[in-house]
Amino acid sequence: MTVALAIDQLRKTYGNGFEALKGISLEVQEGDFFALLGPNGAGKSTTLGIVSSLVNKSSGRVSIFGHDLETDIARAKMQLGVVPQEFNFNNFEKVLDIVVTQAGYYGIPRRQGLERAEFYLKKLGLWDKRNVSARMLSGGMKRRLMIARALVHEPRMLILDEPTAGVDIELRRSMWSFLREINSKGTTIILTTHYLEEAESLCRNIAIIDRGEIIQNTSMRSLLQKLNTETFILDLQSDVEQLPALNGYRPRLTAPRTLEVEVDKEQGLNNLFAQLEASGLKVVSMRNKANRLEELFVSLVDKNLNQEPA
Amino acid sequence: MNNQLLWTAFWTILVKEVRRFTRIWVQTLLPPAITMTLYFIIFGNLIGSRIGEMGGFGYMEYIAPGLIMMSVITNSYGNVVSSFFGTKFQRHVEELLVAPVPNWVILAGFVFGGVARGLAVGLIVTLLSLFFTKLHVHHLLITISTVFLTAVVFSLGGFINAIYANSFDDISIVPTFILTPLTYLGGVFYSISLLPGFWQGVSQLNPILYMVNSFRYGILGVSDIHIGIAFTMILIFIGLLTAFSLHLLNTGKGIRS
């Protein structure tokens, strides 16, 4: 299988001496839907910034579909589309002009650029707004405009940095469906997001970066299998004054009718419900306290935080 | 990228630049027309008639080439400094940085955008000057090449200013405190032969003097400076500023962290 993105011993130290990346190495396979997660300031944006040629690296190598970003830069950039976190288009330009101009930067003649712009703007529901100045668009429309702009040269790999930040649920779901569609047609996607539910739902492989180091790089499935404990929130039918004794479980009363219970993976839930029944407690509803990836993410980052820095 | 792709990328930047300054023509094309008309009326008509001849020509005729060059200089510089700084400020410079556009194509696109505005304003001011005086072009090739190369020099200057600028104040400091004084002291309104010897020597350190005189030679056939020296100076400036601009782009100064 072709390697879409190869990062080798990548380091970045900013002018103020801050070491943002401490020699990370990473591979993303062609066709993958890959999540790069990490807390704020962990090094995600620096990594993607270097891959996108927006940040100068200090050392290391990056290649995109085998084209080195230093020695074969034009071919490497041709393979890549970037949707940044911040809006970075000219607010005073028309939507259509923004997309067609970007096509021109990739050497696509205007007529062909117009055809592709029409296709992607229609696909992303922005064709009606093509002659509107970009500043008049809503936040969600601006995000979709950046996706259309990133796709106009039909890259083999798409980087999305927080693509659904500040986007309402309905639009988020429609963007997910669009991203799944282009991924199924072969576009490799690398995603950063703070919505871990989004990463869990979309991505097949994942890397977690913290304090400039990769602390996990595996498939989403094997990572989730590492989750040993889940916390459930149980809504009770009536008030409880005293915490019930639940042998083997770790319960906590957070409100008179709300019980939080930590359950180990091997314990299962049958015994928990049997004990609740025996205590005379009726459960009205139940949900996870956090999504599974979120629990793992927090535990991994916490663990890394407690380690002595090298 | 092959030549066709490079040309498309260059043309895209140039068209975008021209579209920008024509879209806001009230801010870019109209003000120099009004300002230069006032110069022609006040300095040329009202005061110039009392001054008499300069360099063997009526005062209005003498200053017209200088005023055309002044507008070309300020507008080519102003176009690139404001456009490229705006591109940085709004972060849409990233559209160019992620794309496979070589740095020299980025530079050429913005510089030719500045040249386009400089020449457009120069043409407007030339047409306006014909309402006040007669201009007979003495040497067409020198006239056109001087105005073009001067626009290139100041577009490059504007580009470098924009790279270093961190605020809107930074893009007005150089035009206000350096460019305007050098232009006024660059022989637009007088011949340096009127100055005492010492100040003639000082004036020769002013690069704008060479450009204004070269252009005046192209139109009127008179110059305070040898034309060969003027062209050599202009070409040296273009070479140095181009090399420095490319160095800044290659290192990512002001645009890459």
Question: What pLDDT digit, counting tens, does each position of B65-96 carry?
Answer: 989 999 999 999 999 999 999 999 999 999 99
Is-contact A47 A21, C-beta < 8 A?
yes
Nearest chain B CA: its distance from A12 CA (Å): 10
Contact B100 A91 (CB under 8 A): no
**Residue A131 at interface with chain B, using a CB cutoff of 8 Å:** no
Q: Which residues of B touch A75 (CB under 8 A)?
A: 100
* Whether A18 contacts chain B with CB within 8 A: no
Q: Are B136 and B217 in contact (CB under 8 A)?
A: no
Name which of A61-70, A193-202, B14-23, B240-249 the model is least confident about: A193-202
Alpha-carbon span B241 to B231, nearest angstrom = 15
Q: Which residue is listed with tokens 């200088």?
A: B66
Walk me through the domains of chain A, giving residue ranges and CATH numbers: 3-222 (3.40.50.300), 229-306 (3.30.70.1560)
Q: Does residue B95 sit at the A interface (CB-CB below 8 Å)?
A: yes
Strand partners, A255: A258
Contact B60, B48 (CB under 8 A): yes
Are the Cβ atoms of B101 and A105 closer than 8 angstroms?
yes
Q: Is B256 in Cβ contact with A74 (below 8 Å)?
A: no
Cα–Cα distance, B153 to B151 (Å, whole number) = 5
List, as one string, the DSSP characters of chain A: --EEEEEEEEEEE-TTS-EEEEEEEEEEETT-EEEEE--TTSSHHHHHHHHTTSS--SEEEEEETTEETTTSHHHHHHTEEEE-SS--S-TTSBHHHHHHHHHHHTT--HHHHHHHHHHHHHHTT-GGGTTSBGGGS-HHHHHHHHHHHHHTT--SEEEEESTTTT--HHHHHHHHHHHHHHHHTT-EEEEE-S-HHHHHHH-SEEEEEETTEEEEEEEHHHHHHT--EEEEEEEESS--SSPPP-TTSEEEEEETTEEEEEEETTT-SHHHHHHHHHTTPPEEEEEESS-HHHHHHHHHHHHHHHSPP-
CB-based contact B97 A54, cutoff 8 Å: yes
Which residue on chain B is closest to A51 by alpha carbon? B98
Give yes or no for residue B1 having a pLDDT over 70: no
Strand order in the sheet with A19-29: A19-29, A3-13, A59-64, A67-68
Question: Distance, in angstroms, between A310 CA and closest chain B CA?
Answer: 26
CA A235/CA A238 separation, integer angstroms:
9
- The pLDDT of residue B112 is 98
Q: So what's the pLDDT on residue B98?
A: 95
- Asked whether A35 and A205 are in contact (CB, 8 A), the reply is yes
Between chain A and chain B, how many beta carbons pairs sit less than 8 Å apart? 85
Q: What is the pLDDT of residue B205?
A: 87
Kind of pairing between the strands at A213-219 and A205-210? antiparallel
Is residue A238 within 8 A of residue A258, CB to CB? The reply is no
Contact A90 B99 (CB under 8 A): no
* Interface predicted TM-score (ipTM) of this complex, two decimals: 0.88
In chain B, which residue's Cα lies nearest the Cα of A149? Answer: B95
Q: Which of A77, A41, A16 is closest to A301 using CA atoms?
A: A41
Question: Taking CB atoms and an 8 Å limit, are B8 and A54 in contact across chains?
Answer: no
Q: What angle do CA B87, B92, B98 make, to 5 degrees?
A: 125
Q: How many angstroms away from the CA of A306 is the closest CA of chain B?
A: 30
Q: Which residues pair with A34 in a beta bridge?
A: A190, A205
pLDDT of residue B144: 95
Predicted local distance difference test score (pLDDT) of residue A309: 45
Count of CB atoms situated within 10 Å of the CB of A227 = 13
Summarised one tens digit per residue, pLDDT across range B146-184 is 999 999 999 999 999 999 999 999 999 998 999 988 988
Residues on chain A touching B99 (C-beta within 8 angstroms): 77, 102, 105-106, 153
Residues of B in contact with A74 (CB under 8 A): 1, 100, 102
Of A84, A92, A107, the CB nearest to B8: A107
Query: What does the alpha-carbon distance between residue B131 and residue B41 come to, in Å, rounded to a whole number?
Result: 10
**Does the beta-carbon distance from A107 to B91 stay under 8 Å?**
no
B124-139 average pLDDT score = 90
CB nearest A54 (choices: B5, B98, B101): B98
Mutating which of A72, A105, A135, A190 best tests the B interface, going by the most B Cβ atoms within 10 A? A105
**Contact A105/B95, CB-based, under 8 Å?**
yes
Would you call B9 an interface residue with chain A, using a CB distance cutoff of 8 Å? yes
- The distance of B120 to chain A (nearest Cα, Å) reads 22
Domain boundaries, chain B: 3-251
Hey, are the CB atoms on A105 and B12 less than 8 Å from each other? yes
Count Cα neighbours of B240 within 13 Å in the Cβ-side half-sphere.
8
Instruction: Tell me which amino acid residue A184 is.
Output: S
CA B174 to chain centre: 13
* pLDDT for the residue numbered A254: 86
Q: Which residues of A94-131 are buried (b: 16+ CB within 10 A; e: fewer)?
A: bbbbbbbbbbbbbbbebeebeebbeebbebbebbebbe
Q: Do A55 and B257 touch (CB under 8 A)?
A: yes
Contacts for A113 with CB less than 8 Å, ≥ 6 apart:
A99, A100, A103, A104, A152
Mean pLDDT of B50-67: 85
What pLDDT is recorded for position A248? Answer: 83
Work out the percent of chain B whose per-residue pLDDT is above 70: 100
Closest residue by Cα to residue A187 from A161, A147, A220, A155? A155
User: pLDDT-derived band of residue B54, with 50, 70 and 90 as boundaries?
Assistant: confident
Bridge partners of residue A270, in order along the sequence: none
Contact B5 A90 (CB under 8 A): no
Q: Which of B92, B100, B257 minimises the CB distance to A77?
A: B100
Tens-digit pLDDT string for chain A (310 aa): 799 999 999 999 998 999 999 999 999 999 999 999 888 888 999 999 999 999 999 999 999 999 999 999 999 999 999 999 889 999 999 999 999 999 999 999 999 999 999 999 999 999 999 999 999 998 889 999 999 999 999 999 999 998 887 778 888 888 889 999 999 999 999 999 877 778 888 899 999 998 999 988 888 888 777 767 778 888 998 888 788 888 888 888 888 889 888 888 777 888 888 888 888 888 999 888 766 677 667 777 776 666 644 4
Min Cα separation B102/chain A (Å): 8
